[in-house]
C-alpha cells in the first residue's frame, strides 16, 4: 500500500492542472516559462548555487518518491538560506492585479525535522534599495512533497520583479516541481487600455503616434540602422505579445543605433511623462543586454542633450516591459525618443511604445506610531541573566556567557535613552567560528513596527588570536535581505562601542538580528545589545535650545534722531528677512531652464553646488574637448542672485568615475593631465568658487594615488591653493556620520586628514556627504563631536534622506538639519537636490516633478521660518532696544507719535553682544 507521501506525489500532475484554471473554470495563463522543467533549467536562474533537473524516468532521488510523468529541479551547493531558483517576471505582471502562486517543493535528507521553503518576490528599483516580499511558505520534511501556496498584488511597478524559491538552511538541497503563477483575472494579462501605472496603454493621451505598429512603420525611422515590420520571427517562435505586429531595429553597427520617433510639439515642458515599452532582443549567440529609452533634445541654440528615461535588461527568450519617467525643463526645438543599448549586431525588437502624461502620486498619510514603546529594548535576555536563553548560534559556533564587560551604557545609546540602569557586566562569548557570518542570533519579527526608526547599540570585542583589524557588524536578516545595523573596526583587545540604526517600511515575514564579521577562528564577544525605537522628536527641544545658544547673539539697537519729546512710547518691530547660515542645494544645467525650479531655488537656498557640470568627466569628456559652457551659465545665475557656490569636484578618486582616456594614459602623461586640469579649472574660475572638493572620496577610492604615488593627493591640495588662495579646500566622503561603514568612520577620516596635513596639504574644511538612511541624532552628533576636535569647519555637502512615506522623509530631514544647526562645528549644509526626477536617490525629493510641495518640502520651509528671529517692544530710556537673534538681514520699523521709519540692518555671525547704531 502506498504511503501518504507517495499518494501526494502520484496526484501531483492533476493538482497542478487544477491550479491553472481561472474564474468559472476558464483557462488561466501560467506566467512562468518552463514551469515543469521539461526544458531543463532554461528560463530559470540559479542564485549563487548549483542545480540540475531529474527526469521522471530517473526514479526515486534523495528519499523522494516521484510520480512517473514529472521532472523536478534539485538546487544544491547552497551556502546561504536565500539561495535558490529564480525567474524574472517583470513584464508578466500588471499593477493592481492579484496573482496566485503554487508549487510542490521538498528538501533533501540532510535536514533534521522540518524546514521552511519560501516563495519570495525581489523588487528592484534602479534608484533605491531593493525590497523583498514573502508571498508564500510551507514546511517540509525529507521524503515528502509539500504544496506551497500564496498570492500577491503590487500597488506600483518596480524596475524589476524577480520570483524565487528559497528558505532551507545552508547545505540542505531544495527540490522544486511544477511551479505556477496565474493572474486571478486572466484578462489583466492581456493587452487592454488601462490607466494603471505599469500597464501598457494606447489611450488618446499618448504622444506616440502608431505605438503598436498597426499602421506599419509610419512615423517611425531608424537611428543609424534599418527598421522592419514583423508579425512573427524565428520560424514563428517570436510573436507579438500585444496586437498583431512588432518592429525590429536591424543591421546595427553602434550601440546607439535603434528605432526612433520625433515627438517635437507633442511633448510639453514642465510636465512629467511616463514611458512604457515592451521589448526584446534577437540575434546569433547573444547574451542578455540592457535596452534603453533615450530622449535626444536639441535647444534653440543647437545645444544637444541626451536624457536616459528608462532601461531594462532584455533577452532573446521573451518580451520584457520597460518603464520610466521624465520631464523637460526647457523649450526644445526638437525632441526625438529612441531605443538603444545592445551591442552592435544585436537587433532590438519593440512591440509597443507609449508615452503619456504621468499621473500624480497620491500624498502619503502619516504612519501609525500609536502605542510605540520608545526606548524599550526589544532584545530578549539582553543582560544574559538567563544564560543564553532566547539566543541561538547562527551556524556551527558555540555560545557561552562570560563576565567582565563594561557596565555602562555605550555613549550613543546613553544620549538617546537618558538615565538608564547599568549593564550586567555579562557578555556572550562566541567560539568555534568557522565562517565570518557565524555569531549569536535572535528572532525579532513580532517586535518591530513599520516606519519606526530603531537605534542599535552594543559593546563588542574580538579574541586575542586575530591578525589585523576585524570588522564587527550588527546585521539584520529581513526576509533574507541583509540590513546593516552598524559596523565597527576592532584592531585591539579592548571593548568597542558599535552603533547604528535601521527602519523597515514593508511588512516582513521574518526578521533575525545577528552579530557577525570577524575572520573564521576569531572569537567574538558581545555585551549589552540593545535595539530600541527612537522618539526622534523628543530630542528636538534640546536641539532648539542648542541652536539658540550657538547660532544667536545678543543684539542692541541704538537709535539716534528720535523725537525731542523723548523715547518713551516709541514702538520697535524687528523682523528678520534672511538667515545667513548657509543652506544650499545641488542644481544641474537643465534645471535652470525651468523658471519654477529657479524661483524655488533662489527663494529658499543661499548656496549652490553643481551636480556634474564641474566634474572632470563633464568638462573634458575627451582629451582636449573642453566644455565649460554649462558651468559658466550656472555660475552666472548664482552670481546674479547672490548665491555662493561650492566647486565639486576637481578630481574624483573612485576608479569607476574616471574617463577612459585618462585611464589609458601612462604615468608621465597622467601627471601632465592632472596639472592641466588644475591649471585650467582654477585659473578660469579664480575667486568664483568659495570651496573646492579637491579629490572626492579618498576613503573609498585610490585611482590617482595608485598610479601617481602617495604624494599626489597632498600635491593636488598644494597646487589648488597656489592657483586660488581664496578658496577653502575640502576633503569629502560618505558614510562618515551613520556608523555603517568602517572604511569611513570618524576615526579613519580624522587620521586621513592628519596624514594629508602632515604632507603639507592645506586642508581647510571637512565635507560629510550625508547620504543617510534612518538618521538618529546622537549617532550623527557623536561623529560631529569627534571630527570637531580638529577645529576645522564641517559641512554636510550632499545631504539627502529617503523614505517612501513623505512624513517619515520629513522627519529624517528635520533630524539632520536640526543636528547641523545645533552643532558648533557645522558651518553649512548642502542638499543634494530637492526636485523630483532630478535627484540621485528615489523618494528623496521635497518638490514633486510638476512643482507641488510634498510633506518633506513643507517641513523644510517650516524650519526655515523657525530660524528667523522676530521681536517687538518699546525703546528704553537710553534710546535702545535689545533682543536675541540669528545672524542675517533684518528690517526694523520704528513708530513714534510723529513718524514711522523703516531701516535695514545686518547682523554678522559672532558670540559677543552686538550694538547696531540706527540713525532715524
Catalytic residues: 697, 798
Cβ-proximal residues to 628 (8 Å cutoff; 6+ apart), any chain: 619, 684
Give me 738's grid cell: 551613520
User: Are 292 and 353 within 8 A, CB to CB?
Assistant: no
Rounded to 5 degrees, what are φ and ψ at 328?
A: -100, 125
Cα dihedral 304, 306, 307, 311, rounded to 10, equals 170
Residues 199, 278: Cα–Cα separation, whole Å = 10
- Other beta carbons less than 10 A from residue 39's beta carbon: 12
What are the phi and psi torsion angles at 420 (to 5°)? -155, 150
For 271, the grid coordinates are 510636465
Q: Sheet containing 524-533: which strands, arranged edge to edge?
A: 398-403, 426-431, 524-533, 453-462, 496-503
Q: How far apart are CA 15 and CA 67, in angstroms?
A: 12
* Structure-block grid coordinates of residue 160: 524589476
And the C-alpha cell for 196?
494603471
Nearest to 314 by CA among 248, 264, 263, 221: 248
What is the C-alpha radius of gyration for the chain, rounded to an integer number of angstroms?
A: 31
Rounded distance between C-alpha atoms, residue 776 and residue 502, angstroms = 9
Please state, as a whole number, how many other Cβ atoms lie within 10 Å of the Cβ of residue 464.
Answer: 9
CB atoms within 10 A of CB 367: 17
Please state at what angle helix 777-788 crosses helix 806-821, rounded to 10 degrees.
Answer: 30
Which secondary-structure segment (H or E) carries 106?
A: strand 99-107
C-alpha distances (whole Å) from 176 to each of 64, 166, 242, 657, 857 are: 11, 10, 31, 43, 49
Quickly count: other Cβ atoms within 10 Å of residue 836's Cβ.
Answer: 22
Burial grade of 494 (CB within 10 A; 0-12, 13-18, 19 or more) = exposed
| Closest alpha carbon to 199 in 106, 286, 92 | 92
Interhelix angle 806-821/855-866, rounded to 10 degrees, is: 30
Grid look-up 501518504 returns: 4
Instruction: Kindly compute the dihedral angle of the four CA atoms of residues 133, 138, 144, 147, in this order, to the nearest 10 degrees.
Output: -80
d(C-alpha 286, C-alpha 644), whole Å: 51
The grid cell for 840 is 540621485
| Calpha distance 162→310 (Å, rounded) | 18
* Cell 518552463 sits on residue: 34
Q: Which of 255, 248, 256 is nearest to 213 (CA)?
A: 248
Amino acid at each position: 500500500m502506498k504511503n501518504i507521501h507517495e499518494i501526494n506525489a502520484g496526484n501531483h500532475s492533476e493538482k497542478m492542472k487544477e491550479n491553472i484554471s481561472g474564474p468559472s473554470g476558464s483557462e488561466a495563463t501560467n506566467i512562468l516559462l518552463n514551469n515543469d522543467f521539461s526544458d531543463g533549467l532554461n528560463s530559470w536562474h540559479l542564485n549563487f548555487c548549483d542545480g540540475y533537473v531529474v527526469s521522471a524516468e530517473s526514479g526515486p532521488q534523495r528519499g523522494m518518491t516521484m510520480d512517473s510523468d514529472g521532472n523536478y529541479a534539485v538546487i544544491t551547493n547552497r551556502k546561504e538560506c536565500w539561495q535558490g531558483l529564480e525567474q524574472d517576471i517583470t513584464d508578466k505582471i500588471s499593477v493592481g492585479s492579484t496573482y496566485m502562486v503554487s508549487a510542490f517543493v521538498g528538501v533533501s535528507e540532510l535536514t533534521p525535522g522540518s524546514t521552511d521553503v519560501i516563495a519570495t518576490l525581489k523588487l528592484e528599483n534602479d534608484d533605491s534599495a531593493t525590497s523583498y516580499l514573502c508571498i508564500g511558505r510551507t514546511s517540509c520534511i525529507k521524503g515528502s512533497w509539500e504544496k506551497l501556496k500564496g498570492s500577491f498584488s503590487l500597488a506600483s511597478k518596480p524596475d524589476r520583479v524577480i520570483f524565487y524559491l528559497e528558505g532551507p538552511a545552508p547545505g540542505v538541497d531544495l527540490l522544486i516541481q511544477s511551479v505556477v503563477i496565474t493572474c486571478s483575472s486572466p484578462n489583466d494579462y492581456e493587452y487592454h487600455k488601462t490607466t494603471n501605472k505599469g500597464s501598457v496603454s494606447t489611450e488618446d493621451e499618448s504622444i506616440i503616434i502608431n505605438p503598436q505598429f498597426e499602421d506599419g512603420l509610419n512615423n517611425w525611422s531608424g537611428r543609424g540602422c534599418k527598421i522592419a515590420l514583423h508579425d512573427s520571427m524565428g520560424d514563428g517562435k517570436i510573436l507579438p505579445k500585444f496586437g498583431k505586429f512588432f518592429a525590429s531595429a536591424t543591421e546595427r553597427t553602434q550601440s546607439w543605433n535603434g528605432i526612433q520617433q520625433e515627438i517635437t510639439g507633442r511633448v510639453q515642458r514642465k510636465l512629467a511623462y511616463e514611458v512604457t515599452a515592451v521589448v526584446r532582443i534577437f540575434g546569433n549567440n547573444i547574451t542578455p543586454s540592457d535596452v534603453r529609452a533615450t530622449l535626444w533634445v536639441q535647444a534653440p541654440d543647437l545645444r544637444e542633450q541626451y536624457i536616459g528615461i528608462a532601461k531594462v535588461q532584455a533577452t532573446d527568450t521573451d518580451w520584457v516591459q520597460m518603464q520610466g519617467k521624465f520631464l523637460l525643463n526647457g523649450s526644445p526645438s526638437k525632441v526625438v525618443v529612441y531605443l538603444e543599448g545592445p551591442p552592435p549586431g544585436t537587433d532590438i525588437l519593440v512591440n509597443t511604445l507609449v508615452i503619456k502624461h504621468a499621473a500624480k502620486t497620491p500624498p502619503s498619510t502619516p504612519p501609525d506610531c500609536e502605542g510605540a514603546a520608545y526606548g524599550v529594548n526589544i532584545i530578549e535576555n539582553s543582560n544574559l541573566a538567563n544564560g543564553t536563553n532566547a539566543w541561538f548560534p547562527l551556524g556551527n559556533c558555540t555560545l557561552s556567557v562570560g563576565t567582565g564587560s563594561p557596565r555602562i551604557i555605550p555613549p550613543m545609546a546613553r544620549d538617546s535613552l537618558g538615565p538608564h540602569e547599568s549593564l550586567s557586566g555579562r557578555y556572550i562569548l562566541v567560539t568555534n567560528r568557522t565562517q565570518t557570518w557565524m555569531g549569536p542570533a535572535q528572532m525579532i519579527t513580532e517586535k518591530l513596527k513599520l516606519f519606526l526608526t530603531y537605534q542599535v547599540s552594543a559593546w563588542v570585542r574580538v579574541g586575542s588570536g586575530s591578525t589585523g583589524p576585524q570588522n564587527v557588524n550588527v546585521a539584520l536578516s529581513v526576509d533574507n535581505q541583509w540590513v546593516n545595523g552598524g559596523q565597527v573596526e576592532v584592531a585591539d583587545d579592548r571593548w568597542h562601542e558599535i552603533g547604528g540604526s535601521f527602519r523597515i517600511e514593508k511588512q516582513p515575514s521574518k526578521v533575525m538580528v545577528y552579530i557577525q564579521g570577524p575572520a573564521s577562528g576569531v572569537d567574538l564577544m558581545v555585551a549589552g545589545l540593545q535595539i530600541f525605537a527612537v522618539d526622534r522628536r523628543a530630542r528636538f527641544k534640546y536641539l532648539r535650545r542648542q541652536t539658540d545658544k550657538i547660532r544667536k547673539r545678543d543684539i542692541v539697537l541704538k537709535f539716534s534722531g528720535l523725537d525731542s519729546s523723548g523715547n518713551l512710547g516709541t514702538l520697535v518691530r524687528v523682523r528678520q528677512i534672511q538667515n545667513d547660515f548657509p543652506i544650499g542645494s545641488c542644481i544641474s544645467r537643465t534645471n535652470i531652464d525651468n523658471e519654477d525650479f529657479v524661483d524655488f531655488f533662489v527663494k529658499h537656498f543661499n548656496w549652490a553646488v553643481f551636480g556634474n557640470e564641474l566634474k572632470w568627466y563633464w568638462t573634458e569628456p575627451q582629451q582636449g574637448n573642453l566644455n565649460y559652457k554649462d558651468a559658466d551659465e550656472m555660475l552666472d545665475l548664482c552670481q546674479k542672485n547672490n548665491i555662493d557656490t561650492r566647486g565639486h569636484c576637481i578630481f574624483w578618486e573612485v576608479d569607476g568615475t574616471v574617463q577612459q582616456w585618462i585611464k589609458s594614459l601612462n604615468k608621465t602623461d597622467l601627471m601632465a593631465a592632472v596639472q592641466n586640469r588644475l591649471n585650467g579649472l582654477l585659473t578660469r574660475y579664480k575667486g568664483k568658487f568659495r570651496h573646492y572638493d579637491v579629490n572626492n572620496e579618498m576613503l573609498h577610492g585610490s585611482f590617482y594615488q595608485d598610479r601617481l604615488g602617495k604624494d599626489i593627493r597632498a600635491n593636488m591640495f598644494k597646487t589648488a591653493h597656489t592657483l586660488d588662495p581664496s578658496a577653502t579646500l575640502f576633503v569629502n566622503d560618505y558614510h562618515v556620520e551613520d556608523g555603517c561603514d568602517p572604511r569611513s568612520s570618524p576615526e579613519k577620516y580624522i587620521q586621513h586628514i592628519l596624514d594629508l596635513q602632515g604632507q603639507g596639504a592645506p586642508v581647510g574644511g571637512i565635507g560629510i556627504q550625508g547620504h543617510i538612511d534612518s538618521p538618529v541624532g546622537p549617532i550623527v552628533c557623536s561623529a560631529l563631536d569627534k571630527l570637531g576636535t580638529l577645529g576645522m569647519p564641517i559641512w554636510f555637502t550632499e545631504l539627502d534622506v529617503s523614505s517612501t512615506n513623505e512624513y517619515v522623509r520629513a522627519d529624517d530631514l528635520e533630524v539632520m538639519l536640526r543636528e547641523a544647526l545645533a552643532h558648533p562645528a557645522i558651518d553649512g549644509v548642502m542638499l543634494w537636490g530637492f526636485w523630483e526626477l532630478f535627484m540621485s536617490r528615489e523618494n528623496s525629493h521635497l518638490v514633486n516633478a510638476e512643482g507641488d510641495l510634498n510633506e518633506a518640502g513643507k517641513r523644510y520651509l517650516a524650519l526655515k521660518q523657525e530660524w528667523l528671529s522676530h521681536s517687538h517692544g518699546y525703546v528704553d530710556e537710553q534710546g535702545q532696544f535689545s533682543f536675541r537673534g540669528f545672524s542675517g538681514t533684518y528690517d526694523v520699523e520704528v513708530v513714534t507719535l510723529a513718524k514711522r521709519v523703516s531701516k535695514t540692518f545686518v547682523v554678522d555671525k559672532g558670540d559677543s553682544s552686538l550694538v547696531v547704531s540706527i540713525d532715524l
